[in-house]
C-alpha cells in the first residue's frame, strides 16, 4: 500500500484507489475528470501539465477555498485524456463540460432567454427567431440582447429576400410529385413558390446565403454583388428587375447607415472585457464585422472553486466562441490570457481604434453591472442590503456584519464657529432621523484633533451611560491623526474594546485601522468603499450645512443687528434684497431707501460710510 502524503485524503474512503493514480500522472497536456462515488463526473479541467495541475488540488489543503476542499473530499476516481496540444485540451474540456454538466464547472447560462435567429437544416431552409436551441444541424445566430435590433433585422430580411415561412416538409421528391400548392405569400411576392418548382433549390439557396451574409454583417460584399446585378438587368433592358434591385440596395444601405462605424479595422475581430466583484464576474462580448459592431451582449458568471476572475474570463471566451461559432483570428482583450498561441491571436491595445473598441466593451460591462445592481435594489432591497453588509464585513475583516455604522466630521472656517456632525447608516442606508449636530464647546481655534476628541467622547460616553446600543463600525473622516484622537476619546469613554473604528483618508481613499501603519486600499468599484465614501460625504454635507447656517446667523446678528435702530426684521429684508452684507455695505443710499425707508436707510448708510 502506498503512503499517503496528502492530508486532505486522510478521511477519504477511496484514497487507496486515488493514490496510485496520482503517483502515475503524466506531465503532458490533457484533460482530467473527477468522479464521485456514484461514478458521476463532478469536475472537468484542462492542463498543460497534467501531473502538476492535478496534484495541486491535493496539496496545501488550508490554502484552498471551502468549495475546493469539498470537491476534493468527494473525489472517488480520477481519469485523464492525453492530447497533443493545448488547443486540443481547450476544446475537449469545453465539449466534456457541455456534455456532462459537472457540478463544479462554470456554465454560461445567462443568455439562455435571449432570442436567436435560426436557419433550419432542411432542403429548403426556413428562417425565424427563437429562444430555444435544438441540436438538429440548424444554424443559430445571436443571441440578441436587444429585441428591437432583432426585429429590425428580421424586417429587413423579409423585405430583401423571398423565402418560405410555411412548415411544409419540402423535398425534391415531394415537390416533383406536385403535393403542394402555393400560398398567399407567393402571390404577393414574399416567396417564389419553391413548393410548385417555380424556384429551383439552387436559386433558393442563393437567397438563403444572402440572408447569412446580412446576419453576419457582411454588407459591403453583398451590396457590391447587388449593384452588379442591377447594372446587368439594366443592360439587358430588364428595367423592372433593375428597379427592384435598386430598392433592395437602398434598404440595405439605410439599415447599414444605422450602425456607427467606430473603427477603420475592416477584418473581423472579437472584443472581450470583464469586471470582478466578490464571487461574480461581469463579462461583455462584442463582435465587429467590417468596422461595425455586429453584436454586443453582457453576462454575469459566478466564480466556482478557487478560480480567479481571469480564469473565469478565459473559460467564458472559449465557450462563447464555440457556442456562437465566432471564428475571428484576432481577439481584443484587456490583458494577455493563458490561451494557446495557435488558438487565436490576442491583442492588448494601448491606443487607436482597437483601444476605442476595448473601451466600448468595458463601458458596456460597467453599464450591465450597474443595471444588475439597480434591479437587485428595486426587486429585493432587503436581500441587497444584507449582501452589502456581508461584503463590508469580508472586505474590512470584521468579526460581525456592520449593520449599524456611524461617521464623524468636523467643520470650521479659519477657526470660526467650530461644529461637528454624526451621521448614522443602518443596513447600508442613511438613517436621517438619527443624524446629530454638535457645537464644539471646549476647543479654541482650528484644532481638528481636539474637536474630534471632544465630540467622540461626548457621543459615546452618553450612549454608554444611557445603556444604548453602540455601532458595529465607527468611521472617522480623516487620516491617522483624526483616528488617533477618536481612539483616545473612545478609551476615555470606556468603549474602545466594544467597537471597531477606522479612518478614511481623503487623498487616496485609504482605510486606516488603529495602531496599524499600513492602510487598506479597496477597489474603487467595490460596494464597501462606495458605502464608506457615501457615509463620509453625507457627514461632510450634514456638517457643512449646519456650519453654514450657524455662520450666517452669526453674521446676521453681529453686522446688521448691531446697527442702532436696525432690528431683525429690517436686517432680514435687506438680506433678502441684497443677498449679502458686503452688497449692503456697497449699496447706494437710494437703493437702501427703496427697501427699508429713508430713516433706516440713513442709519445703515451712515454706519458703513461714517468715515
Q: Map 28-44 to HEC letters.
A: CCEEEEEECCCCCEEEE
> Are the beta carbons of 36 and 14 closer than 8 angstroms?
no
Q: Which residues of the chain have pLDDT under 70?
A: 1-5, 60-63, 108-114, 145-146, 254-266, 378-380, 412-417, 445-446, 546-559, 561, 610-611
Determine the pLDDT at residue 552.
58
> Are the beta carbons of 118 and 140 closer than 8 angstroms?
yes
The partner residues of 261 in beta bridges, in order of sequence, read 292
- Name the E strands within 360-478: 404-413, 416-426, 429-430, 436-439, 473-477
Domains of the chain: 7-100 (3.40.1440.10), 116-217 (no CATH), 269-376 (3.30.420), 391-549 (3.30.420.340), 561-609 (1.10.150.20)
Under 8 Å CB-to-CB from 148, ≥6 apart: which residues? none
CA atoms 377, 295, 104, 341: torsion sign? negative
Q: Give the CA diameter of the chain.
A: 117
The pairing of strands 330-332 and 41-47 is unpaired
CA distances 148 to 52, 144, 187, 447, 568, Å, are 49, 9, 29, 61, 63
Residue with cell 447656517: 549
Under 8 Å CB-to-CB from 485, ≥6 apart: which residues? 448, 449, 450, 452, 453, 456
Picking from 285, 306, 305, the residue whose alpha carbon sits closest to that of residue 296 is 285
Residue with cell 432587503: 382
Cα of first residue to Cα of last residue in the chain, in angstroms, is: 109
Cα–Cα distance measured from residue 221 to residue 214, given in angstroms and rounded to the nearest whole number: 10
Picking from 371, 398, 397, 373, the residue whose alpha carbon sits closest to that of residue 384 is 373
Residue with cell 457621543: 459
Cα–Cα distance measured from residue 570 to residue 592, given in angstroms and rounded to the nearest whole number: 11
- Grid cell locating 150: 432583432
- Grid cell locating 34: 473527477
Determine the pLDDT at residue 261.
46
What Rg value do the Cα atoms of the chain yield, rounded? 36
406 three-state secondary structure: strand
283 three-state secondary structure: strand
Residue with cell 464657529: 417
Picking from 322, 358, 337, 341, the residue whose alpha carbon sits closest to that of residue 85 is 341
Determine the Cα angle at 124 with ends 119 and 126, to 5°.
35
Burial class (CB in 10 A: 0-12, 13-18, 19+), 509: middle
Picking from 280, 219, 287, the residue whose alpha carbon sits closest to that of residue 253 is 219
> Are the beta carbons of 548 and 516 closer than 8 angstroms?
no
Determine the Cα angle at 174 with ends 172 and 178, to 5°.
110
Phi, psi of 473 (to 5 degrees): -150, 135
**Which H or E run contains 293?**
strand 292-302
Cα–Cα distance measured from residue 448 to residue 482, given in angstroms and rounded to the nearest whole number: 7
pTM of this structure: 0.55
Cα–Cα distance measured from residue 402 to residue 385, given in angstroms and rounded to the nearest whole number: 11
Q: Between the CA atoms of 491, 494, 498 and 502, what dihedral angle is there, to the nearest 10 degrees? A: -30
Cα–Cα distance measured from residue 461 to residue 254, given in angstroms and rounded to the nearest whole number: 73
Phi, psi of 554 (to 5 degrees): -65, -45
- Grid cell locating 81: 485524456
Picking from 496, 459, 498, 502, the residue whose alpha carbon sits closest to that of residue 480 is 502
pLDDT tens digits along 6-25? 777 777 788 888 888 888 88
Burial 436-461 (b: 16+ CB within 10 A, else e): bbbebeebeeebbbbbbbbbbbbbbb
Under 8 Å CB-to-CB from 392, ≥6 apart: which residues? 398, 401, 402, 428, 473, 527, 528, 531
CA atoms 396, 399, 400, 406: torsion sign? negative
CA atoms 184, 190, 194, 198: torsion sign? positive
> Are the beta carbons of 31 and 45 closer than 8 angstroms?
yes
Q: Between the CA atoms of 592, 594, 599 and 603, what dihedral angle is there, to the nearest 10 degrees? A: 0
Cα–Cα distance measured from residue 142 to residue 161, given in angstroms and rounded to the nearest whole number: 20
Picking from 282, 288, 265, 323, the residue whose alpha carbon sits closest to that of residue 95 is 323
Amino acid at each position: 500500500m502506498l503512503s499517503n502524503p496528502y492530508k486532505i485524503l486522510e478521511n477519504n474512503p477511496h484514497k487507496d484507489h486515488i493514490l496510485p493514480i496520482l503517483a502515475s500522472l503524466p506531465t503532458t497536456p490533457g484533460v482530467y475528470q473527477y468522479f464521485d462515488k456514484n461514478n458521476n463526473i463532478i469536475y472537468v479541467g484542462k492542463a498543460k501539465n497534467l501531473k502538476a495541475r492535478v496534484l495541486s488540488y491535493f496539496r496545501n489543503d488550508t490554502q484552498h477555498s471551502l468549495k475546493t476542499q469539498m470537491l476534493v473530499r468527494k473525489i472517488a476516481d480520477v481519469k485523464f485524456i492525453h492530447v497533443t496540444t493545448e488547443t486540443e485540451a481547450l476544446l475537449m474540456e469545453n465539449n466534456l463540460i457541455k456534455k456532462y454538466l459537472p457540478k463544479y464547472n462554470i456554465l454560461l447560462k445567462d443568455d439562455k432567454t435571449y432570442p436567436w435567429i435560426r436557419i433550419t437544416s432542411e432542403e429548403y431552409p426556413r428562417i425565424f427567431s427563437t429562444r430555444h436551441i435544438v441540436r438538429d444541424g440548424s444554424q443559430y445566430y445571436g443571441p440578441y440582447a436587444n429585441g428591437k435590433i432583432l426585429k429590425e433585422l428580421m424586417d429587413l430580411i423579409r423585405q430583401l429576400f423571398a423565402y418560405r415561412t410555411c412548415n411544409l416538409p419540402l423535398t425534391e421528391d415531394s415537390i416533383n410529385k406536385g403535393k403542394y400548392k402555393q400560398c398567399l405569400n407567393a402571390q404577393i411576392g414574399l416567396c417564389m413558390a419553391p413548393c410548385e418548382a417555380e424556384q429551383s433549390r439552387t436559386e433558393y439557396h442563393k437567397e438563403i446565403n444572402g440572408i447569412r451574409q446580412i446576419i453576419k454583417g457582411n454588407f459591403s460584399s453583398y451590396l457590391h454583388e447587388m449593384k452588379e446585378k442591377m447594372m446587368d438587368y439594366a443592360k439587358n433592358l430588364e428595367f423592372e428587375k433593375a428597379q427592384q434591385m435598386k430598392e433592395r440596395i437602398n434598404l440595405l444601405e439605410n439599415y447599414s447607415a444605422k450602425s456607427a462605424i467606430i473603427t477603420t479595422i475592416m477584418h473581423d475581430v472579437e472584443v472581450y472585457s470583464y469586471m470582478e466583484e466578490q464571487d461574480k464576474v461581469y463579462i461583455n462580448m462584442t463582435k465587429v464585422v467590417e468596422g461595425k459592431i455586429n453584436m454586443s451582449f453582457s453576462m454575469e458568471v459566478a466564480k466556482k472553486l478557487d478560480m480567479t476572475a481571469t480564469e473565469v474570463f478565459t473559460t467564458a471566451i472559449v465557450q462563447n466562441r464555440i457556442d456562437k461559432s465566432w471564428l475571428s483570428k484576432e481577439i481584443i482583450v484587456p490583458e494577455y490570457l493563458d490561451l494557446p498561441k495557435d488558438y487565436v491571436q490576442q491583442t492588448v491595445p494601448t491606443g487607436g481604434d482597437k483601444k476605442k473598441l476595448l473601451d466600448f466593451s468595458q463601458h458596456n460591462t460597467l453599464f450591465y453591472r450597474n443595471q444588475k445592481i439597480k434591479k437587485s435594489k428595486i426587486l429585493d432591497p432587503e436581500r441587497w442590503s444584507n449582501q452589502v453588509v456581508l461584503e463590508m464585513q469580508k472586505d474590512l475583516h470584521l468579526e460581525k456584519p456592520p449593520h449599524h455604522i456611524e461617521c464623524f466630521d468636523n467643520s470650521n472656517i479659519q477657526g470660526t464657529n467650530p461644529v461637528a456632525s454624526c451621521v448614522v447608516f443602518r443596513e447600508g442606508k442613511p438613517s436621517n432621523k438619527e443624524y446629530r449636530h454638535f457645537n464644539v464647546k471646549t476647543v479654541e481655534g482650528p484644532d481638528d484633533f481636539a474637536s474630534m476628541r471632544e465630540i467622540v467622547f461626548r457621543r459615546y460616553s452618553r450612549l454608554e451611560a444611557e445603556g444604548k446600543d453602540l455601532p458595529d463600525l465607527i468611521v472617522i473622516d480623516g487620516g491617522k491623526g483624526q483616528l488617533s484622537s477618536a481612539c483616545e476619546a473612545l478609551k476615555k469613554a470606556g468603549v474602545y474594546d466594544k467597537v471597531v473604528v477606522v479612518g478614511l483618508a481623503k487623498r487616496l481613499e485609504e482605510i486606516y485601522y488603529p495602531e496599524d501603519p499600513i492602510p487598506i486600499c479597496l477597489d474603487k468599484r467595490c460596494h464597501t468603499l462606495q458605502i464608506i465614501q457615501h457615509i463620509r460625504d453625507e457627514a461632510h454635507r450634514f456638517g457643512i450645512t449646519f456650519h453654514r447656517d450657524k455662520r450666517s446667523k452669526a453674521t446676521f446678528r453681529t453686522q446688521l443687528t448691531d446697527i442702532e435702530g436696525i432690528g431683525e426684521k429690517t436686517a432680514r429684508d435687506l438680506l433678502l434684497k441684497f443677498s449679502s452684507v458686503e452688497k449692503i455695505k456697497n449699496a447706494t443710499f437710494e437703493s437702501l431707501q427703496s427697501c427699508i425707508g429713508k430713516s433706516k436707510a440713513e442709519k445703515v448708510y451712515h454706519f458703513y460710510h461714517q468715515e
